[in-house]
Amino acid sequence: MTEKLILAAVRELSAALAATGDNEEIQAFFSFILTKAEIKAIAARWILVKEIAQGTPQRDIAKKHSLSLCKITRGSRELKRADSLFRRMLARSGAQEEPRVPHAESRALKEP
């Protein structure tokens, strides 16, 4: 497959998904076109983006979800961009990130 063919297919698929407007239909489509491993990989990427946006330390995300720091760093870099597509997608999904101070709870417990 050529790069040109792949890009055209991604454009077509993106347009079809955007036009659907039906979350259940999109989920069903994913379950038919993707393997369980591919769905798991996509879900893992989404989970790490949400956790980074919430302020979870990268090493904690890596340990908790058995993910490489390279994948997490890639997500972190995108979230830091002023025009971050990840932030826009988080807002659209209803998974709006809530900024928090990492480990604030554990520090509060140690204070007198």
- Contact of 45 with 39, CB cutoff 8 Å: no
pTM of the predicted protein model: 0.73
Poorest-confidence range of 6-10, 15-19, 23-27, 93-97?
93-97
C-alpha 41, offset from chain centre: 10
Break the chain into its structural domains and give their ranges: 1-33, 35-99
**pLDDT value for 68:** 87
How confident is the model over 40-96, as pLDDT tens digits? Answer: 999 999 999 999 999 999 999 999 998 888 889 988 999 998 889 999 999 988 876
Distance CA(31)–CA(23), nearest Å, equals 12
